[in-house]
Structure 1
Amino acid sequence: MAVRGAFLPRAVCRQFVHAFLKGDRYRNAYNLNLLPLASSSALRKTFSTTPLSASRNIGNDSKGYTTSFALFEGLWEAGRTACFVNVGSDHPSVIEAIVKAKRERPDRWPKIITCPSEITAISMADGYARVTGRPQAVIVHVDVGTQALGQGIHNASNGRVPVFIFAVSDPLNQQIPVSFFVAHGRWKVDSYTAVTQLVDYIKSDVSITSALKDSKYATRGAARVAVHEARVGEIVSIPRLEDGERLDPLKIIARGLDDSDRPRSWINCGGTGIGWSNGAVLGVKMALADLERDEDRKPSLVCQVVGDGSFMCAAPSSALWVASKYEIPVLTVVLNNGGWKAPRNSTQLVYPQGLNTTASDDEINTSFRPTPNYAALAEAAAGLNVGWENTLDDSGSWIKGLRVETVGEFREALQLANLRVAQEGKGMLIEVSM
């Protein structure tokens, strides 16, 4: 089996593999020390491990002790508690190791979360790490499986979120070409080192430090703050709609601003890979549940607010199925305006007098009409009978889907969500037609 490390902790992944390969076919005890690979005190603390006992000998238990088993074992001993996987025909050794561990040491093994979509897997790991600061593992196929992680890697990279990614294959079944690109030089650096170097350089350059003292920069900063505060004031001042009126996205956001100044109450990916929240909300909820259990705190209600375009773009049925299978209770609010609107906005900025100004959504290929029944999708993805009446009938169903159009219907649905998600610990999706 070949294991390739990708993204932030590449050196860590390589040391995993090298540590395993140094053993006598993985039959002897090994000592994995990640401290030399960390470039900051925070990372040293994150990746530090307790060395294995010198007396530990697995030579008599070598049957089934493969590179895959050693990889998972190393992850667990390094403090990684979850592994989000998309397994298949490339992963016989991985599957075997998972089965072996579940039978022999289920309480000393990362929790394996099956993700039918790669984007769900990496987004869940991303969301978990954003809450805890502890990177978790993602295992996918090589080639197209790894490529499917693209926007997830982009989101994590822009958000500076650490994630372990392993692209796994069986070299007996396929020949993987190794490409080499000629370069004048090669350098590797982590974000912390890069930022430190930039800050040190700026501090040491008198011309830069002198320029930064110019009052115009303080004036610009104050102007930006004023513009932001004015915009927030405009949104908050929007009059409340009556119960019978139809909803629109801006007024939904305005109602949520009262709580938005609480630290970490509003999490955004920071990248442009849409659909991030489908999986990230599950990772956030998992992480909060772990923290709340350890600190004996009341469970938090975690809500995902997502447009229908983003929701459709990132394997929604996969994320909903994972939520149901592993009973991760979250509230999802899908704002259904019939498709993508951002492409039209950007096109109009570039071509304000262009044909797009009179074109329909179908003409510019951004329409989702006729729109899916997202409420029914939630229940279908969880393997349940379809039904979207605004009641709590069929309380045995783990995910409930509701469809609303007016303020009054939305308010009623939120009351049901508070009961179902926050108190009963079950999932719910509310589709808001706009």
Structure 2
Amino acid sequence: MYTASTAFLEALTEAGVSYIFANFGSDHPALIEAIAEARAHGRRIPAIITCPNEMAGMSAAQGYAQVSGQPQAVIVHVECGTQSLAGAVHNAAKGRAPMLVFAGASPFTQEGEMRGSRNEFIQWIQDVPDQRSIVRGYMKYENEFRTGKNIKQMVHRALQFAMSEPKGPVYLVGAREVMEEELTDAVSIDMARWRPVEPAALPQEGVEQMLAAFAQARRPLVVTSYLGRNPDAVAELVRFCENVGAGVHESVPSAMNFPHDHDLYLGNQWNEPHQNEALGEADCILVIDSDVPWIPTISRPAGGVPIFHIDVDPLKEKMPLWYIGAEHSFRADAATALGQLNDVLAVRPFDGARVAERRSRFAAKSKARRERLATLETGSNGVITPEFLTAAVRRHIDDDTIVLNEGITNYPAVSNHMAMTRPGSIFASGGGSLGWNGGAAFGAKLAAPDKTVVALTGDGSYMFSIPSSVHWMAAKYGAPFLQVVYNNRGWKAPRFSALGVHPDGYASRANDLDLSFDPSPDYAGIAKAAGGAYARKVERPEEVEEAVAEALRVVREEKRSAVLDVWLQHG
């Protein structure tokens, strides 16, 4: 029997989808039958990953896409499962992670008129007026299957949207009757006709305007946040900065955008409440692939500085309030645009002496920065600091390691002290909904089974990640990773936010702001109970080095996940 669900699975397979992260429900009998039928006949379909929690499943799809660049599929149960995707929808949208989310819908017949007609009470309760509206504001494309006859075209159109810049998630819905529909003929698809839109380039006048401004500058600066999502763009950025003698500043980085050991790397800024020196001194700025290049109330460029802006989404069309005062803004792919600039510089190089002077000045600042950071890694007074812990993790990883950063108030410590140098070696969610790191680490391991995956997380974001589901999945599917919990026993970020707005208010004098996690849960024990992970609490600095080494040995040799619950100073 060839059904709409058979066609759906075939379409995913044609598109190169390797995994379906599934949380099945009463709306999926046709899919469950089609999966069983394909297995019975030895027909290739994507591997099914059972996800006890929808957010963990979608986070896994995001982690897979971030590491591999390839979209995967997520299947959830009607509007309930769609809502249970929760913050993972936000993270995938803001992190521009391509994936296809499919949800069933309550049957639209109730007297047995069609196969799949209503036969359970829940199908009346789960029939809502506009299921697609739940995620409409976050999806690049959303639609409903109305017949099985064009399901393949619908899937490939959706994935075209997902994979065309700016990339992102797409959402499809199909009721039981539609997914049960029997088809007489299979649709033949030529995948060459369903490719994503080609990357956009700079106009030639834009190339000339930018190079003319950079040629005259004394302190040119590039600001980026997520250029490294495309590893090819990193090499082009390094080449450009070396060609013109420009420094690089990262604002809220969610990828490895520029090698931290390079003399032109000037550091990164998150929510630190001070003016960034490099940004304040710059006399010509290129903002490329950044949603928040600076926070104007805290740190911003000097007035009158020419700002050029390159992004696949320069208008930030999903952000109601956004502007940076760029005098020239271009919709272009970062790797393509930088390649254009570098091609011109190859035949019309800048003045060598001027470039050397810029590079020398930035190199001195870069070296001084690295020396300052080194002094923070020694620990003090028997307290495990984030810098000390992160440096210990750094010493035990290798070039085959992928790091995920959801450190929240420790984002800067992780970025600065992991000091990654390879494209594709470190990621953050790119969004603001906590709990991405666990599922993402599982998905990253599926995408790169030969690499070691390390997730660095705050205690709050660990709780949000549904570790019981995540570590069960990791054990069941043989995808182990190390998770290090930066445990300060509470939500530190809300405290910082409150004091940032009310530095001398009542909150600044209160002993309890209802943000504490005391008594602390047994974070590592949760993972041990759910998935047999190696579990260990670390409370003293002298334990850290050996604990990290042993945890990574377990992950690499025993092929078992590990969780280190590391106690920092109380938040």
TM-score, length-normalised on structure 1? 0.69
Distance change in 2, residues 1:354/1:411 (3 Å):
same
Return the offset for 1:179: 8.4
Return the offset for 1:95: 2.5
Residue in 2 aligned with 1:102? 39
Residue in 2 aligned with 1:404? 538
TM-score, length-normalised on structure 2? 0.53
Return the offset for 1:338: 0.6
| SS of equivalent to 2:447 | helix
Return the offset for 1:109: 1.8
Looking at structure 1, the residues matched to 429 and 498 of structure 2 have their Cα atoms a distance apart, in angstroms, of 24
| SS of equivalent to 2:452 | coil
Give the residue type in structure 2 aligned to 1:123: S
Residue in 2 aligned with 1:433? 567
- Whether 1:159 aligns to 2:129 is no
Over the matched positions of the two proteins, sequence identity in percent amounts to: 37
Residue in 2 aligned with 1:252? 389
Give the residue type in structure 2 aligned to 1:240: T
Residue 359 (structure 1) aligned to one of 481, 505, 510? 510
Distance change in 2, residues 1:219/1:433 (3 Å):
closer
Return the offset for 1:252: 1.6
Looking at structure 2, the residues matched to 148 and 191 of structure 1 have their Cα atoms a distance apart, in angstroms, of 27
Looking at structure 1, the residues matched to 205 and 469 of structure 2 have their Cα atoms a distance apart, in angstroms, of 46
Residue in 2 aligned with 1:218? 220
Q: How does 1:300-311 map to 2 (within 5 A)?
A: 300-311=451-462
Give the residue type in structure 2 aligned to 1:158: K
| SS of equivalent to 2:451 | coil
Shifted more, 110-119 versus 187-196: the winner is: 187-196
Residue in 2 aligned with 1:330? 481
Distance change in 2, residues 1:379/1:76 (3 Å):
same
- Deviations 1:333-384, CA, capped at 9 Å, x for gaps: 1111111111111111111111121223x43x321111110121111112xx
Give the residue type in structure 2 aligned to 1:373: D
Residue in 2 aligned with 1:374? 523
Give the residue type in structure 1 aligned to 2:99: V
Q: How does 1:288-327 map to 2 (within 5 A)?
A: 288-289=448-449, 299-327=450-478
Distance change in 2, residues 1:317/1:202 (3 Å):
farther
Residue 414 (structure 1) aligned to one of 548, 555, 568? 548
Q: Does structure 1 retain, via aligned residues, the 8 Å contact 2:389–2:544?
A: no
Return the offset for 1:115: 0.8
Q: Does structure 2 retain, via aligned residues, the 8 Å contact 1:421–1:428?
A: yes
Q: Does structure 2 retain, via aligned residues, the 8 Å contact 1:321–1:381?
A: yes
RMSD over aligned CA atoms reads 3.2
Give the residue type in structure 2 aligned to 1:237: T
Give the residue type in structure 1 aligned to 2:521: P
Looking at structure 1, the residues matched to 29 and 467 of structure 2 have their Cα atoms a distance apart, in angstroms, of 27
Residue in 2 aligned with 1:134? 70
Looking at structure 1, the residues matched to 3 and 430 of structure 2 have their Cα atoms a distance apart, in angstroms, of 39
- Deviations 1:85-116, CA, capped at 9 Å, x for gaps: 111223222223333333332x6121100111
Give the residue type in structure 1 aligned to 2:79: D
Return the offset for 1:211: 6.5
Q: Does structure 1 retain, via aligned residues, the 8 Å contact 2:79–2:105?
A: no
Q: Does structure 1 retain, via aligned residues, the 8 Å contact 2:78–2:105?
A: yes
Give the residue type in structure 1 aligned to 2:46: P
Q: How does 1:111-150 map to 2 (within 5 A)?
A: 111-150=47-86
Distance change in 2, residues 1:342/1:318 (3 Å):
same
Q: Does structure 1 retain, via aligned residues, the 8 Å contact 2:78–2:106?
A: no
Q: Does structure 2 retain, via aligned residues, the 8 Å contact 1:124–1:279?
A: yes
Residue in 1 aligned with 2:3? 66
Looking at structure 1, the residues matched to 558 and 209 of structure 2 have their Cα atoms a distance apart, in angstroms, of 61
| SS of equivalent to 1:238 | helix
Higher strand share: 2
Residue in 1 aligned with 2:206? 203
Give the residue type in structure 2 aligned to 1:300: K
Q: Does structure 2 retain, via aligned residues, the 8 Å contact 1:238–1:254?
A: no
Residue in 2 aligned with 1:237? 375
Give the residue type in structure 1 aligned to 2:469: S
Give the residue type in structure 1 aligned to 2:76: V
Give the residue type in structure 2 aligned to 1:169: A
Q: Does structure 2 retain, via aligned residues, the 8 Å contact 1:399–1:428?
A: yes
Give the residue type in structure 1 aligned to 2:562: M
Return the offset for 1:147: 2.6
Residue in 2 aligned with 1:42? none
Looking at structure 1, the residues matched to 530 and 453 of structure 2 have their Cα atoms a distance apart, in angstroms, of 20
Give the residue type in structure 2 aligned to 1:273: S
Q: Does structure 2 retain, via aligned residues, the 8 Å contact 1:300–1:422?
A: no
- Whether 1:269 aligns to 2:436 is no
Q: How does 1:28-107 map to 2 (within 5 A)?
A: 62=1, 65-105=2-42
Q: Does structure 2 retain, via aligned residues, the 8 Å contact 1:420–1:428?
A: yes
- Deviations 1:191-238, CA, capped at 9 Å, x for gaps: 25999679449839x988877776377268648454654554422222
Q: Does structure 2 retain, via aligned residues, the 8 Å contact 1:259–1:265?
A: no
Q: Which runs of 5+ in 2 are unaligned?
A: 108-116, 118-122, 134-139, 142-160, 167-195, 223-245, 250-264, 269-365, 395-416
Q: Does structure 1 retain, via aligned residues, the 8 Å contact 2:377–2:387?
A: no
Looking at structure 2, the residues matched to 169 and 275 of structure 1 have their Cα atoms a distance apart, in angstroms, of 27
Looking at structure 1, the residues matched to 13 and 546 of structure 2 have their Cα atoms a distance apart, in angstroms, of 44
Return the offset for 1:303: 1.1
